[in-house]
Amino acid sequence: MTTALSAGTLTLADDLTITRMGYGAMQLAGPGVFGPPRDRSEAIAVLRAAVDAGVTHIDTSDFYGPQVVNEIIKEALYPYPEDLHIVTKVGARRGADASWNPALGRDDLILAVHENISRLGLEAMDVVNLRLHTHLPISEDSIAEEFAVLAELREQGLIRHLGLSEASSAQLTEALTIAPVVTVQNLYNVANRQDDELVARCEREGIAFVPYFPLGGFSPLQADELDAVAASLDTTKQQVALAWLLQRSPAIALIPGTSSREHLRENLAAADLTLPAAAIAELDAIGG
């Protein structure tokens, strides 16, 4: 039976070992990542099924919902298994119109960390990612002021480890002058390969690279090519895309999201899919 452990683990610190196949909780909110889920009982069941399958890496944020997803995670999983690590993001706020708004001021960041801790029922967050941008392309602005706030909270014991979301290599370099970084979470998939060099850097430096939107941003032609590879292997395009990422680098940890237990099982099954060299060559060509 496929479990999250089929994809192996990443040890990022003495107290932080995560399954490479994690779970992203964003889709547990309502449409547009706003409001309550259509089926709260299924959302709870999905979380419990993920943990039962060995997932020890759940990605969330208090701006999913907002608040809704963290409350569901606590309802489903508290008290948490000792080996479960919950990763959150700060740096944005949701408007009443479901808009995504930057919230990178000192007070915003401190409040967001406290809110995540409170709603999840934790004493401290395992990992907090600083979400730097609300849209692409990624800028090269200094992040020292914002990251230093999270570093202070780490020194206070409210955060154990720090990460970045939607960050450039230069911003990672700047952050590392302030505090250790254990994760970088950026858009990356078969078709979106702009961070190839950053993936390689994370592998060299023992940092987890956590791609989001494994099927996001494909052109119709690229999607057709992915479908063709999946058909040739008698599997799904989602499984192919996830398997490609797992084989792309041992530093990659995945957080595919779903609000369905059936889709959760399909995602986990990607850990058992070994892509042959010919398929990898076809997929590499998609990204140009």
Q: What is the full per-residue pLDDT of the chain (288 aa) written as tens digits?
A: 678 889 999 999 999 999 999 999 999 999 999 999 999 999 999 999 999 999 999 999 999 999 999 999 999 999 999 999 999 999 999 999 999 999 999 999 999 999 999 999 999 999 999 998 755 567 788 999 999 999 999 999 999 999 999 999 999 999 999 999 999 999 999 999 999 999 999 999 999 999 999 888 889 999 999 999 999 999 999 999 999 999 999 999 999 999 999 999 999 999 999 999 999 999 999 986
pLDDT at position 139 is 76
pLDDT at position 135 is 57
Q: Buried b vs exposed e over 253-281: b needs ≥16 C-beta within 10 Å? A: bbbbbbbbbebbebbbbbbebebeeebbe
Instruction: Give the catalytic positions in this structure.
Output: 64
Pull the structure tokens for residue 100: 């995504």
**CATH annotation of 8-286:** 3.20.20.100
Plot region of 101 (φ>0 → left; ψ -120 to 50 → alpha; else → beta):
beta
Q: Which residues pair with 18 in a beta bridge?
A: 10
pLDDT at position 3 is 85
Q: Are 8 and 58 in contact (CB under 8 A)?
A: no
CA distances (Å), origin 87, targets 41, 63, 203 = 23, 13, 20
Pull the structure tokens for residue 120: 């999840």
